[in-house]
Structure 1
Amino acid sequence: MVATLIIALGLAGCNTPQIHQDDRYNPPVYWGRHVVKAGETLYSIAWRYGRDYRELGDANDIPPPYDLQAGQVLRLDRRGNVSVASGSPRSPDPTRRPPPSDSPAPTVSKSANTSVPTNQRSQTVASIAWHWPHLGTIIAAYSTSGKVNKGIDINGNPGDSIRAAANGNVVYAGDGLLGYGNLVIVNHNEHFLSAYAHNRKVLVREGEEVVAGQIIAELGSSGTDRPKLHFEIRKNGNPVNPLPYLPPR
C-alpha cells in the first residue's frame, strides 16, 4: 500500500517531511512524524527515511518483532539509543555527509570460491555469504554524488529470476516506496538489509525465510523506465556500495 505523507501546511500539529526521489543524496530524517498506513512495516518506514530500523523502533518504544498498527504515529526525532557491537558504526549522524563512493571496502573474511559456476559463487563479508541477485550487466554504479544511486542497477529481461543475495527474512514486499516499484527487502542480521526493486512480480511474502540463491521475484520495470534490477545493501540504515560485498564474476 502506498504510504501517504501528510504535509504540515493546513494540518495542525503535523510536520511530516516529504521524501522525493531525485539526484541529491537524501540524508536521514530526524524531524516530524509518520502516520502508519496499512501494509507498512517498521523496516519499510525506516528505509523511506534513511534510518536504522532498530534505532527508529527504540525511539518509539517499539520492541522486536516491531509490530505496527494502521494509524499509529511514529516520531522521527532521534530519541533512540541502540547499542552496537564494539567497532561497529553507530546510527547515522544527520550532520555527517555520506562516505564517498571510493570509501574503503569492507573486510572480506573468505574469498569467493572460483571453482563453482559464476551464479553459485559466494563471498563472505561481515559473516554473511553474499551471492549475486542477478547476473546481467551493471548499467548504473553506486554513487553518492551527481546522479545519486544508492545501489547498483543490473540489466535484464522481463521475467528473469531475481534471487536472494543471502540468507534472511523478508521484512517488506510491496509497492509503497516511491521510486522502487514492486520491492522486496530482506533482513540478514541486525546490521544488514538488502533490497530488490522494480520487479514485475514478487514471489515471496513478508515474514518468509529465504535462502541465498532462492528466486524471490521476477525482473521488471515497475516504477522505472526500463527492465532492470535495482539492488541495494544497507548497513545500519546507511546505503553502501554492494560491489565489495558480492563475489567476483
Structure 2
Amino acid sequence: MSICSRIFSLIALFFLLAGCSHNPSSVQIKELRLPPKVSSGSHIVRPGESLFSIAWLYSRDYKELAATNGIRPPYTIYPGQHVNLTPSSYGSRTSRLASKNVSATVGSGMVKKQPANKHKKIEPSSRAFSWQWPAKGKVVQVYSNSNGLNKGIDIRGKLGEPVSAAAAGEVVYAGSELAGYGKLIIMKHNNSYLSAYAHNKELLVREGDSVKAGQKIAEIGSTGTTEPKLHFEIRHNGKPVDPMRFLPKR
C-alpha cells in the first residue's frame, strides 16, 4: 500500500471514530429518583416547586416540613425561601426568606397555587378508600425500596395513552422540577396518603384541581426516561410503600 493510500485510510478512520463518538444513540439517560442524602440543613425553594414536591424529593412528610417551618395551609411557599429539613417533632420554627420584600403578585415568580376549577371541590375522606389502576399496561418494574432503586412501579404504555387518578383527591403538584420524574403529578388523597404519576407526555390538570377516581389526568410519555411508561408511587406519611399492596388484582 502506498503512503498516500495509508494516509487516506487513517483520515477516513479518524472521521469514522469521531462520528461514532457523537452518535446520540450512545448517550445513556439515567433515571435519578434517589432522594438527596440530607438529614439536616435547608432547601432553597426554586420557581415551580411546592411544599409537597420538596417533601417528595426528600421522602419526608409534608405535615412535618410544614410544622417545622411554620407553614400553614394552603402551604404557599416562595422562591428563595429556606425550608428547614432538620427532623423535628412537628416543631413550630418559622421559615426564613431570602428576601424580606416579596411581592404578592404572580409576576414576581411566587410559588403559588393555581386557582381551583369551578367544579365543586372533592374533599378526600379520612376513611379507607379504594385504589384503582392508573394505567392499563403491564408492570415492567416492581417496587424495590430496599436498595432505593424504585420507590414505585413502572407500567408500560404507548405515547398518549391515558393516565388516570388512582383515587379521588387534590392535585398538589404538577410540573417537571423533580429530576428523574419528567412531567410529574402529585395528588393528595387524605392527610396520610399521596400518589405520584411520572414521565407524562402531557399534564391535563393543574395544582389546586379536585380530581375524581378514574379521571384522566395525563398522557403516558417518556419525559425523564428512555421509553414510554408510567412510573407510579404511593407515599404514606411521606414514606414510599409498595403500590401493589393497594391496587386490585388483575
**Same topology, TM > 0.5:** yes
1:101 maps to what in 2? none
The amino acid of 1:72's aligned partner reads Q
Question: How many percent of aligned residue pairs carry the same amino acid?
Answer: 52
* 1:197 lines up with 2:208 in the alignment: no
**Alpha-carbon distance in 2 for matches of 1:80, 1:32:** 16
Q: Is the 8 A contact 1:153 1:228 kept in 2?
A: yes
Q: Is the 8 A contact 1:29 1:50 kept in 2?
A: no
1:166 maps to what in 2? 167
Q: Is the 8 A contact 2:153 2:231 kept in 1?
A: yes
- The structure 2 residue matched to 1:39, chosen from 26, 34, 48, is 48
Matches within 5 A, 1:112-123: none
2:88 maps to what in 1? 79
**Alpha-carbon distance in 2 for matches of 1:166, 1:28:** 31
The total of aligned residue pairs comes to: 187
* 1:62 lines up with 2:63 in the alignment: no
Q: Is the 8 A contact 2:45 2:82 kept in 1?
A: yes
1:108 maps to what in 2? none
Alpha-carbon RMSD across the aligned residues, in angstroms, is 2.1
Q: Is the 8 A contact 1:28 1:51 kept in 2?
A: no
1:135 maps to what in 2? 136
2:157 maps to what in 1? 156
Distance apart, 1:37 and its partner CA: 1.4
Cα 1:177/1:32, change in 2 over 3 Å? same
Gapped regions of structure 1 (runs ≥ 5): 1-19, 83-124
Distance apart, 1:27 and its partner CA: 7.8
Q: Is the 8 A contact 2:174 2:205 kept in 1?
A: yes
Distance apart, 1:244 and its partner CA: 1.2
* 1:228 lines up with 2:229 in the alignment: yes
The amino acid of 1:237's aligned partner reads G
Distance apart, 1:129 and its partner CA: 1.6
Q: Is the 8 A contact 1:29 1:51 kept in 2?
A: no
1:187 maps to what in 2? 188
2:239 maps to what in 1? 238
* 1:21 lines up with 2:39 in the alignment: no
**Alpha-carbon distance in 2 for matches of 1:38, 1:181:** 16
Tell me which protein shows more helix as a share of its residues. Answer: 2
Q: Is the 8 A contact 1:56 1:80 kept in 2?
A: no
Distance apart, 1:26 and its partner CA: 4.4
**Alpha-carbon distance in 2 for matches of 1:146, 1:62:** 32
Question: Larger Rg: 1 or 2?
Answer: 2
SS in 2 for 1:213: coil
**Alpha-carbon distance in 2 for matches of 1:79, 1:162:** 36
Gapped regions of structure 2 (runs ≥ 5): 1-30, 92-125
CA displacement 1:143-165 (0-9 Å, x = unmatched): 12357210000000000000000
**Alpha-carbon distance in 2 for matches of 1:60, 1:79:** 10
- TM-score with structure 1 length normalisation? 0.71
**Alpha-carbon distance in 1 for matches of 2:180, 2:127:** 29
SS in 2 for 1:129: coil
**Alpha-carbon distance in 2 for matches of 1:147, 1:77:** 21
2:177 maps to what in 1? 176
Cα 1:245/1:27, change in 2 over 3 Å? farther
SS in 2 for 1:243: helix
**Alpha-carbon distance in 2 for matches of 1:148, 1:224:** 14
- TM-score with structure 2 length normalisation? 0.71
Structure 1 consecutive aligned stretches of length 4 or more whose deviation exceeds 4 Å: 25-28
SS in 1 for 2:224: coil
The amino acid of 2:192's aligned partner reads H
Q: Is the 8 A contact 2:35 2:57 kept in 1?
A: no
Farther off after superposition, 179-188 or 65-74: 65-74
Distance apart, 1:28 and its partner CA: 7.2
**Alpha-carbon distance in 2 for matches of 1:73, 1:60:** 9
The amino acid of 2:90's aligned partner reads N
Q: Is the 8 A contact 2:173 2:184 kept in 1?
A: yes
